[in-house]
Amino acid sequence: MLKNKEQERLALEFSQGWSYAPAPESTDHVQLQERYSLFIDGKFVAPSSKKYFPTVNPATEQVIAEVAEAGKKDVDKAVKAARKAYDEVWSKMPASERGKYIFRIARLIQERAREFAVIESMDGGKPIRESRDVDIPLAANHFFYYAGWADKLSYAFPNRRPRPVGVAGQIIPWNFPLLMAAWKLAPALATGNTVVLKPAETTPLTALKLAELIRDSGLPPGVVNIVTGAGATGAALVSHPDVDKIAFTGSTEVGKMIQRAVAGTNKKVTLELGGKAANIIFEDAPLDQAVEGIVNGIYFNQGHVCCAGSRLFVQESVAHTVVRKLKDRLKTLIVGDPLDKNTDVGAINSAGQLKTIRDYIALGKSEGAEFYESPCALPQAGYWCRPTLFTGVSQSHRIAQEEIFGPVLSIQTFRTVSEVIDKANNTPYGLSAGIWTDKGSKIFNLGQQMRAGVVWANTYNKFDPTSPFGGYKESGFGREGGLQGLAPYLQFD
Amino acid sequence: MSSSVPTTIPDFRLTPTIDQVGVEERAARFRTRSIKKEAKVAGLKLALSMIDLTTLEGQDTENKVRQLCYKARHLHDAYDGLPTVAAVCVYPSLVRVAKQALGDSGIRVASVATAFPSGQAPMPVKLDDTRFAVAEGADEVDMVISRGRFHQGEYNYVYDEIAAVKAACGEARLKVILETGELGTLDSVRRASEIAMHAGADFIKTSTGKIKPAATMPVTLVMLEAIRDFYFQTGKMVGMKPAGGISAAKPALHYLVMLKETLGNAWMNNHWFRFGASRLANDVLMQLVKQQTGRYQSSDYFSKD
């Protein structure tokens, strides 16, 4: 057997030889307008502010469309429409009828899946492989799943007389634009609430296409309203007195602002915030599959994932092997045009986010961690970051403490089970964790001791509408998905 | 490099664990790669050059083998610039015929040996079988492991048998058939791969083609990853041959994608990778002609030998 040092003289060669020709997904079938207004009371209406802002393709820096900026007046109009629809139509409709509308939305998403996938990749920079195989099918599945609950709420919560809350204000992030809209809308509608939804300012297009789809579905006007804009629009929605419930997914910083804003009101709140998840590899783990799990954990969606496995803990006895395998795997990741079917890692969502990531990479270097990045070439235009990892990281490094929200992995080693439990839980966040071992008892032991809302065993970043998702500590509170995801939109006796 | 490698044989009870779900997911991911245009043509030609054109039947005759050898040298004369296949694979009794028929074409003669396909024969018989094939002119020997002994946990027996056959091969390259369809789990596939490589296999091969399932992408991936680990442990390259069940061009391209992204460019040639197949060549030819003309032709435009 060769020693570790001798192994370093060996290398696999991935850059030469047979390579794949470009395979761009066609955009011919995509219908986009040059300018989008606000979707209020079943119609697209111009903003009272008359202001529009551009939304940019992060892979080309080209403007794709202009989108209305909703001011206070527009938000008020949307909330009024939602209230009217709630009082006059939606809360009075038999639950089985409500379910039919939601089923119809789910089917329409499936029918238009290809268009949605392409727009999602154009507007957000994520690879078409992910938007096509993950985002859009999962979004449809959420509507299907919650449609089924609509007329069964009294079975979900026996003897508690579940009733809708009223008007829900929902604010969603830019990392999974349509999927997050589905996570928010589907349970709210199934439980009989009406909604004002604000998509993120960098990725509003699939939500607006969803508005068109909802209009085509015949859903009664005002049940779903979609207002676009940045932070101020969100703040207007949160502080609107006639909103009964706030659901927010985004940064911990904004989550704290929202909690301050609703303090002293009767508004129900759920927050799904940041994360800095531990992904733990034991020496008895299936290492090649674990390496794949590490890649899916941190480079999926360019690392723009709140539950990303950004802190890797590897047992010391296999650390050398795992890091070597991981570096080889990074060489085979294809970074580039999000619309190419062979792309594994797409564009960073915005110039601002790219700057944040670069600052953290510089910080990691200055903190003395050992830096490695994939050797891939990057396109000229657009916002790009190579898949990156840091070894020699300790708990006291800021790159191991703070959420980077990019394709940057920090790797630490550990010796014992109790040590890794301590370190994994030693974070203000607690959204998710991963455990890799061949031993079932170890999975159950660690699974119970992780202070994290989701714990994956021998896999990572798996999502299903039937499974609840949410955080501990500064990762937020409330659960989305599954039966548990109904509760935040209901009041009980 | 090899001088620094101690000749320790690892404890084969402690081979790395495999997660089947993860392997299947990774294998499926290779199938999502989109191979078009010039990449497709280059991939198809590469696949052709990696084929071990095979006939392994009780009814094989000298004439059948001669016909197959002509096909091996002239895959589709209407298409310029095609490679030949890598080898023709026959039973030991037909090696001499194949050797003569292939002449100086550079196409190798591979022969199954060791009481193929069951391997249920005494060791001396298997070694005689091997020596006979080599003496008749086989450039490569495809042996089967004793799956029964493997299931009994007699890993030393399996190892010793492979090492003995390797010695009997002399200059001929040895391909070790694990018959993964009879091993039951991917953990066993991994273990058998390690035994074969440590015992001196030049290639590890999935299947005889007589048992279903034969080659699958998950099984092949586990074996490729074992080859990768063995390379880093010893500095030695080992070849891979999925055999049986790969009869269409598209899956063949997916295997090449998997090979490229697992072991890299050094393995992307017929010295280190083979397809054991009898029907694959014609489907690849059909796709190549389609790329050239834009039309699919009927299978009657491609010779069946």
pLDDT tens, per residue, chain A with 493 residues: 888 888 888 999 999 999 999 999 999 999 999 999 999 999 999 999 899 999 999 999 999 999 999 999 999 999 999 999 999 999 999 999 999 999 999 999 999 999 999 999 999 999 999 999 999 999 999 999 999 999 999 999 999 999 999 999 999 999 999 999 999 999 999 999 999 999 999 999 999 999 999 999 999 999 999 999 999 999 999 999 999 999 999 999 999 999 999 999 999 999 999 999 999 999 999 999 999 999 999 999 999 999 999 999 999 999 999 999 999 999 999 999 999 999 999 999 999 999 999 999 999 999 999 999 999 999 999 999 999 999 999 999 999 999 999 999 999 999 999 999 999 999 999 999 999 999 999 999 999 999 999 999 999 999 999 999 999 999 999 999 999 999 999 999 8
Is residue B244 packed enough to be buried (19+ CB in 10 Å), middle (13-18) or exposed (0-12)?
buried
Residues of B in contact with A21 (CB under 8 A): 35-40
- What distance in Å separates the CA atoms of residue A305 and residue A322, rounded to the nearest whole number? 23
pLDDT digits (tens, 9 = 90+) for B142-171: 999 999 999 999 999 999 999 999 999 999
List where CATH 3.40.309.10 sits in chain A: 275-457
Angle at which helices B20-30 and A287-298 pack, to 10 degrees? 60
Alpha carbon of A468: minimum distance to chain B alpha carbons (Å): 22
Residues of A in contact with B25 (CB under 8 A): 292
Q: Active-site residues of A: which are they?
A: 272, 306
Domain boundaries, chain B: 21-293
Contact A399, A370 (CB under 8 A): no
Alpha carbon of B41: minimum distance to chain A alpha carbons (Å): 11
Contact B206, B219 (CB under 8 A): yes
Query: Any chain A CB within 8 A of the CB of B63?
Result: no
List where CATH 3.40.605.10 sits in chain A: 35-273+472-491
CB contact burial B191-229 (16+ within 10 A = b; e otherwise):
bbbbbbbbbbbbbbbbbbbeeeebbbbbbbbbbbbbbbb
ipTM above 0.85?
A: yes
Q: In B, residues 269-288, which contact A (CB 8 Å cutoff)? A: none
User: Structure tokens of A227?
Assistant: 């207002």
C-alpha pair distances (Å), B257 with each of A470, B204, B210: 37, 19, 26
Contact between chains at A2 and B25 (C-beta distance less than 8 A): no
- What distance in Å separates the CA atoms of residue A14 and residue B29, rounded to the nearest whole number? 18
pLDDT digits (tens, 9 = 90+) for A112-146: 999 999 999 999 999 999 999 999 999 999 999 99
CB contact burial B145-159 (16+ within 10 A = b; e otherwise):
bbbebbeeeebebbb
Contact between chains at A20 and B39 (C-beta distance less than 8 A): yes
Q: In B, residues 232-271, which contact A (CB 8 Å cutoff)? A: 232-235, 256-257, 260-261, 263-266, 268
**Which one-letter DSSP state was computed for residue B19?**
-
H or E stretch at A225: strand A224-226
Question: What's at A390, amino acid-wise?
Answer: F
Residues of A in contact with B46 (CB under 8 A): 18
Alpha carbon of A412: minimum distance to chain B alpha carbons (Å): 22
Residues of A in contact with B190 (CB under 8 A): none
- Which entry of B40, B71, B99, B142 is annotated as an active-site residue? B142
Query: Any chain A CB within 8 A of the CB of B32?
Result: yes
Confidence at B7, pLDDT banded by 50, 70, 90: low
Looking at domain B21-293, what is its CATH homologous superfamily?
Aldolase class I (3.20.20.70)
- What distance in Å separates the CA atoms of residue B302 and residue B288, rounded to the nearest whole number? 12
Alpha carbon of B218: minimum distance to chain A alpha carbons (Å): 12
Question: Is B142 marked active-site?
Answer: yes
Contact between chains at B268 and A17 (C-beta distance less than 8 A): yes
Query: Any chain A CB within 8 A of the CB of B194?
Result: no
Per the DSSP assignment, residues forming a β-bridge with B88 are B53, B109
Contact between chains at B8 and A1 (C-beta distance less than 8 A): yes
What is the domain class of A275-457 according to CATH? alpha beta
- What distance in Å separates the CA atoms of residue A310 and residue A312, rounded to the nearest whole number? 6
- What distance in Å separates the CA atoms of residue B94 and residue B66, rounded to the nearest whole number? 10
Looking at domain A35-273+472-491, what is its CATH homologous superfamily?
Aldehyde Dehydrogenase; Chain A, domain 1 (3.40.605.10)
Nearest residue to A262 via CA among A279, A283, A237: A237
> Strands, DSSP E only, in B70-224?
87-90, 108-112, 140-144, 173-177, 203-205
Alpha carbon of B124: minimum distance to chain A alpha carbons (Å): 31
Contact between chains at A10 and B231 (C-beta distance less than 8 A): yes
pLDDT at position A469, please? 97
Which of A6, A15, A286 is nearest residue B16 as measured by Cβ atoms?
Answer: A286
DSSP A133-172: IIIHHHHHHHHHHHHHHGGGHHHHSTTS--EE-SEEEEE-
Nearest residue to A165 via CA among A270, A22, A310: A270
C-alpha pair distances (Å), A34 with each of A54, A216, A249, B133: 10, 20, 28, 73
pTM: 0.96
Is residue A451 packed enough to be buried (19+ CB in 10 Å), middle (13-18) or exposed (0-12)?
middle
Contact between chains at A288 and B225 (C-beta distance less than 8 A): yes
Angle at which helices B186-198 and B155-169 pack, to 10 degrees? 40
Contact between chains at B6 and A341 (C-beta distance less than 8 A): no
Query: Any chain A CB within 8 A of the CB of B39?
Result: yes
Q: Mean pLDDT across the stretch B236-246?
A: 97
In Å, the largest CA–CA distance within chain A is: 76
Q: Measured at the alpha carbon of residue A400, what is the angle toward residues A398 and A406, in degrees to the nearest 5?
A: 95
Residues of B in contact with A133 (CB under 8 A): 32
